[in-house]
Amino acid sequence: MNVRKGISFITVFGIIVAIICALLIGFSLGQFAKPTEELVKTETAIKTITIKETIEKTLKETITTTILLTPTISSTITEAYSLKVLEVVLDAVSEEGYNYYIMTLEAKYLGDKSWSFYPYDITLLSDTGYKYDTTPALAIRQSLPLSMDLGKGETTKGQIAFKLPKNEKPTKLIYDDKLHDIKFEITDIPEPTKQVSDIYFAETTIQSKYSLITAFASLKNTGPFYSGETIKVDVEISYSKWIDNPETIQIKSIAAEGFEITKINPNLPVEVKDKEKVVISLELKVPQEGYKGNIKLTITA
């Protein structure tokens, strides 16, 4: 649009220059003409001045309109509406062949009126060029509301999710509210900082030379879990003395395959007497890479 207006300006400017040159030439020749031509010259000069004023007025209005329109469009997109991706969590374990990208968004309105914000107007463009709508995900912790009216300076935060094939990655978010003619893009999408783990149960295996030791483990909090979070497990251990076994045994260690145990209460070793039960509470750190299955505990006595 600006190129076309630039060309039109040059064309009109050339016409004005040509007219002015013609007037100057006509005026010079008129100095040697007969007195009877004075009336003709006067009428020509009046018409030329009128045409010049009209052209200048049109040019001025066109240039002024162009200058006023340009910042209005820019302000609407870059200043009134703010949408940021604060964090991305990758769920690579919930469904075979697909990844769920769970994004924490912050929407903020900076204009003078209000913004009717609709998360379902957001689509994701992958690195293969395909577009994806938002989708439900079990690992979402705090969903964005379906709609929200944001006044000046107001903010909302929450999560949305997109389901992509394993071989695709997100490159761009597109907000397109056709009803209110609001459209802009977000290309600043950070890499996932956490992954999802889906833990079902806790299994126990006992390594001991003594018989009749049993252990039952139970999860005290449920997932899905994010990387670095804490899983709490209670392990109930019982002992029944068998022939030639001691009256008391010791629980020497507990290990969790693929998980870091950050806390044991009470501290090991723990003694367990004949016909007695003890409960040992564990806190485990969820691994950085997503895991799906049971926690496997090995108890050594």
Residues 6-54 pLDDT 10s: 334 444 445 554 555 454 444 444 444 444 444 344 444 444 444 445 4
The domain spans of the chain are: 2-80, 81-195, 196-300
pLDDT at 67: 30
Mapped onto helix, strand or coil, the DSSP state of residue 41 is helix
Per-residue pLDDT of 112-153, as tens digits, reads: 999 999 999 999 999 999 999 999 999 999 999 999 999 999
CA distance linking residue 60 with residue 221, whole number of Å: 72
Cα dihedral 144, 150, 153, 157, rounded to 10, equals: 0
- What's the length of the chain? 301
pLDDT in the model for residue 39: 39
Pairing mode, if any, of strands 194-207 and 292-300? Answer: parallel
The CATH code belonging to domain 81-195 is: 2.60.40.1240
Confidence of residue 78 (pLDDT cuts 50, 70, 90): low
Provide mean pLDDT across the span 155-165: 97
b/e for 267-283, b at 16 or more Cβ within 10 A? Answer: eeebebeeeeeeebebe
Residue 97, pLDDT score = 96
Quick one: pLDDT band at residue 243, thresholds 50, 70, 90?
confident
Per-residue CA distances from 23 to 17, 47, 52, 71 (Å): 10, 11, 11, 40
pLDDT of residue 53: 53
pLDDT digit string, tens, across residues 172-223: 999 999 999 999 999 999 999 999 999 999 999 999 998 889 999 999 999 8
pLDDT at 298 over 80: yes
* pLDDT of 276 higher than 90: yes
- Mean per-residue pLDDT, 231-237: 97
